[in-house]
Amino acid sequence: MNATDRTPADLLRSALAADPGRPLVTFYDDATGERVELSVATFANWVAKTSNLLQGELAAAPGDRVALLLPAHWQTAVWLLACSSVGVIADVDGDPALADVVVSGPEGLEAARACSGERVALALRPLGGRFPQPPAGFADYAVEVPSQGDRFVPFAPVDPEEPALIVAGREFSAAEVVERARAEAPGVGLTGPGSRLLSGLPFDTWEGLNAGLYAPLATGGSVVLCRNLDRLGEEDLAKRIESERVSVTAR
């Protein structure tokens, strides 16, 4: 990654320029058996489309707050980077009543209705599938995102020093996210490009977000992101670690 990268979106652009074909996020859901692998290029394409949806149809602008009522999931990682690209504040498990936009998985829909702004629902089904019946009052992400543009340009420059992330009651600027991710990467075992981290941590703490997204992105590594990892036995976990060429785990 480049020393001049000041936001998570900058980190993704540098990763895309360096090696677009390498794996970035490999996702497992051990409740459904789902496995999805996204290269840097594929992940960046999802981020660009989501950023265009956020900035365009949802009319989000720098400084707006987006409540993310989502689990540790590859689509959550996409939304976190889309928020960084637009310059809005990603408020993880934030109060929908205080948000300009709410983005919710199936389990958070009732709470999400407290948002008076735009509401987006994610089915979190394998392969990014849509809801069989869209929730009333919500845009279905899987329906809206495919038609969005593959290139994203923000309407306004993103200021790295402005608030970018709120998690577990703590606020971070975009620059702080990048600086802390870089500083803490050695502590979670990421030694540089090619490092591969398996994380079973939830996304409701900085530690979970850092292990599951920011530190691998900041170091040129990759992440094997596992949801419902407690359903996997130790023998099967050992096989996954071997088959995915994992160098370090966080769980």
- pLDDT digit string (tens) for 146-169? 999 999 999 999 999 999 999 999
DSSP count for the chain of H helices, then E strands? 9, 12
Residues 6+ apart with CB under 8 A from 175: 6, 7, 160, 161
Q: How many other C-beta atoms lie within 10 A of the C-beta of residue 95?
A: 14
CB 103 within 8 A of CB 67: yes
3-class DSSP state of 74: helix
Superfamily of domain 8-250: ANL, N-terminal domain (3.40.50.12780)
CB 178 within 8 A of CB 6: yes
Helix extents (H) in the chain: 8-18, 40-52, 74-86, 109-112, 141-144, 174-184, 206-209, 215-219, 234-243
Alpha carbon distances (Å) from 180 to 89, 112, 133, 186, 248: 17, 30, 41, 11, 19
Nearest to 67 by CA among 145, 131, 120: 120
- pTM, whole model, 2 decimals? 0.97
Ranges of residues in the chain with a pLDDT under 70 are: 1
Q: Ramachandran region of residue 164, left (φ > 0), alpha (ψ -120 to 50) or beta?
A: alpha
Q: Which residue has the tokens 């995102």?
A: 145
Q: Cα separation of 33 and 71, whole Å?
A: 16
User: Can you give the pLDDT at residue 206?
Assistant: 98
User: Can you give the pLDDT at residue 2?
Assistant: 76
Alpha carbon distances (Å) from 214 to 115, 126, 223: 27, 23, 10
User: Can you give the pLDDT at residue 1?
Assistant: 64
Query: What DSSP element (H or E) covers 155?
Result: none
